Structure 1
Amino acid sequence: MYKLYCRSFQQVMKLSMFFLPWREPELLVGENSLSKLPNIIQREGLKSILIVTDKGIAESGLMEGLLNGLRALEVDFAVYDKTVPNPTIDNIEEALELYKATKCDGVVAFGGGSPIDCAKGVGARLARPDKKLPQLRGVLKVMKKMPPLFVVPTTAGTGSEATLACVVSDSNTHEKYALMDTALIPHFTVLDPLLTVKLPKHITSTTGMDALTHAVEAYIGKSNTKHTAQWSIEAVKLIFDNLYEAYSNGENITARTNMQRAAYLGGKAFTRAYVGNVHAIAHTLSGFYNVPHGLANAIILPHVLEYYGESAQKPLAELADVIGICVRTDSTEQKSTKFIQAIKDLNKKMAIPDKVDCINDRDIPLMIERALREANPLYPVPKIFFKEDMRELIKMIEG
């Protein structure tokens, strides 16, 4: 009966997707596309902008072109650079106070997934000033217009530049959860590959595997559509063709450009078709131990795909054909196995471990509870997991 409840809920959510007020960000794409953003901001009639970033980005010089462009056009700005990995409610509230104090009328997110989530959280609070962030947790709790949001990703992985999701960490409870609402989809997105060429190798690898996880989970889920399937297929192909090159040769602009497109397409796919149990486990792992989200996904992904067994073999076999690793005589099961092995091989080539060594056994019951609460009934996964499934998978990744 519980499985029937989950599947019925998921079917209703899938049908509702066709009636939601979707928008796609206006894209600025290509080398030096960041230079166009100040004019776009001025064109939108904005007078003062809050820029949400982190210390590393703020000190790297990556934002200087943007800041100089805003100064030249006499657009005021304030910079919030205290975002931490897995941004907290406190981060968002601090940034919100700066927005109000400096009388801003728009938000720029500049950085990886954490600054983007933080900026979306600010937008959610501005749209619903009567609600605290925990009250906006879940699906379609914002439902009101927020100020213009401009997103400048400096990694190629999270897909947050295309999605309706904002992931927040509660530093008091060590819980990580999502706000999901079409109001949170960015209005403008800048995909400038020059912003990613200096990424450390370990960030290139783990954010790239994050993008792969998005595309794969969207594709194998039961809410996949013709459009999300095509976006996922293109993303998976781009990642297998370009991620290792971007990791090995960070100055390769073509590889960097292709990875940005893959991350964007993966974001478009999963924001409509959802993710799955990989993310449910990864979020609780990050919430408890602050494991970077991309790294958590990269480690967990092959374990969950293997655990799905026959329920995911057909779509995984199709993805194996997409990346060209099969022979004509391979069975569906053999193709599926080869695809999972290709993920393991890519992880290994990029020095990503297959386990984590931070899990405390006393935390596992609560981790299981939180992972199940995230996954069920919302995620349209190939196989509904229960407590023992989650327990076994957490034990699998425990070093």
Structure 2
Amino acid sequence: MRRFGFLDRIQKLLTVAGMESIIIDGVEPNPSVATVHRGAKSMIAFEPDWIVAIGGGSALDAAKVMWCFYEHPQIRFEDIIAVGSMPPLRNKARFVAIPSTSGSASEITAFSVITDTEKHIKYPIVATDIVPDIAILDPEIPEYMPAHVTANTGMDVMTHALEAYASIAATSFTDPYAVEAIQLVFANIETAYKEPHNKAARFNMHNASALAGMAFTNASLGLVHSLAHKIGGEFGVTHGLANAILLPYVVRFNRQFTQKYEQLERLLDIDDIAQEVSMLNAKLNIPDCFKECSEVEFDESVFRDVLKYMSENAHADPCTLTNPGKPSVDDVKAIYQAAFYGQK
């Protein structure tokens, strides 16, 4: 955001509007509890009336929780983990979100994912108050994403839409958003990946991300996200990549509990949605299992050591609650093993 001038442009616009601003940066992928406390400390010193978050899902997610700690300095991170436990916001500031990736949809959702680095656990924070007041979707910004980020974040959109569609909380109001997002991803992600400055593809992927966000912030998600949160916290694999790898495995598992995939296949005129996702991953150079992942080094012995613990934590993740059926810890463990080794 700094290298391509977006931060300077924002600060100049704010200055013209008579608004003083500071920049809080240095948010890492998989933002940590320490990072949000550091940002909140800066906010407390500056006392902003507006918080403008620009960047990928990590930056937006971190800013949401910084906002919470700015408005309520006395609370601890543990106090906001449970769904519905966040205190009311907008006592001091309001929030604008400008996404730089077409992926997380954090700009219009009630979700934030923060990592406890000591416990190696990602926590999805769910609170209606952290839905931003204003979202600005500018397709020029994601043109500067590296190709692998376009691929990973784009498949995050696909995961959001497919999980929202299959969710047991899905309704006639959320399904159309999910289906439109799925169609837009299938039609545009490969072009955005190969032609980064194709404005039509970027525009459509940005819209797909927001539409999928509208679907899952109301219908919630499922096992893909539960598993991705925990393997990401344990091994540091980025969220979109973890989702992309896990998605076909979870869809195949979920078919025994729901007819929604068959309905979707009829709508899209395809035979097997899991297979279509796998083929799309291949076109985007996304590996079909974690063992082949080059982003991080997956030590097989470490994976075996943490598998039981990781499976229990994933099963307890809030996203599991709206997954089709009632998967057990053993089911979660089996999916992890299949996705690690590339087994059907």
Provide the TM-score with structure 2 as the length reference.
0.92
Q: Deviations over 1:87-121 (max 9, x none)?
A: 00111011111111122222111100000011100
Show the counterpart of 2:290: 356
Instruction: Tell me how far 1:375 sits from its aligned partner.
Output: 4.5
In the TM superposition, 1:150-161 aligns within 5 A as 150-161=96-107
Report if the CA contact (8 A) 1:237-1:322 is conserved. Answer: no
Instruction: Please state whether the residue corresponding to 1:79 is helix, strand or coil.
Output: coil
Show the counterpart of 1:53: none
| Aligned counterparts of 2:234 and 2:29: Cα–Cα separation in 1 | 13
In the TM superposition, 1:198-213 aligns within 5 A as 198-213=144-159
Report if the CA contact (8 A) 2:36-2:62 is conserved. Answer: yes
Instruction: Tell me how far 1:127 sits from its aligned partner.
Output: 3.8
Show the counterpart of 2:276: 342
Show the counterpart of 1:126: 70
Instruction: Please state whether the residue corresponding to 2:275 is helix, strand or coil.
Output: helix
Report if the CA contact (8 A) 2:124-2:318 is conserved. Answer: no
| 1:374 aligns to 2:317 (yes or no) | yes
| Aligned counterparts of 1:298 and 1:93: Cα–Cα separation in 2 | 30
| Aligned counterparts of 2:72 and 2:267: Cα–Cα separation in 1 | 43
Q: Deviations over 1:50-91 (max 9, x none)?
A: xxxxxxx23332222212112222311111111000100111
Show the counterpart of 2:41: 97
Show the counterpart of 1:297: 243
Report if the CA contact (8 A) 1:240-1:323 is conserved. Answer: no
Show the counterpart of 1:4: none
In the TM superposition, 1:239-388 aligns within 5 A as 239-312=185-258, 314-325=259-270, 335=271, 338-357=272-291, 358=298, 360=302, 361-375=304-318, 379-388=321-330
| Aligned counterparts of 1:86 and 1:151: Cα–Cα separation in 2 | 18
In the TM superposition, 1:120-199 aligns within 5 A as 120-146=64-90, 147-199=93-145
Report if the CA contact (8 A) 2:44-2:70 is conserved. Answer: no
| Aligned counterparts of 1:185 and 1:317: Cα–Cα separation in 2 | 32
Report if the CA contact (8 A) 1:143-1:182 is conserved. Answer: no
Match of 2:331 among 376, 381, 389: 389
Compare 362-371 and 72-81 and name the one that shifted more. Answer: 72-81
| Unaligned 5+ runs, structure 1 | 1-56, 326-334
Q: Deviations over 1:318-354 (max 9, x none)?
A: 22233333xxxxxxxxx3xx21111011000010001
After superposition, the Cα gap between the structure-2 partners of 1:102 and 1:126, relative to the gap in structure 1 and judged at 3 Å, is: closer
Report if the CA contact (8 A) 1:121-1:166 is conserved. Answer: yes
Provide the TM-score with structure 1 as the length reference.
0.80
Alpha-carbon RMSD across the aligned residues, in angstroms, is: 1.4
| Unaligned 5+ runs, structure 2 | 292-297
Letter in 1 for 2:114: V
Which of these two proteins has the greater Rg computed from alpha carbons? 1
| Aligned counterparts of 2:45 and 2:3: Cα–Cα separation in 1 | 23
Report if the CA contact (8 A) 2:79-2:86 is conserved. Answer: no
Report if the CA contact (8 A) 1:164-1:180 is conserved. Answer: yes
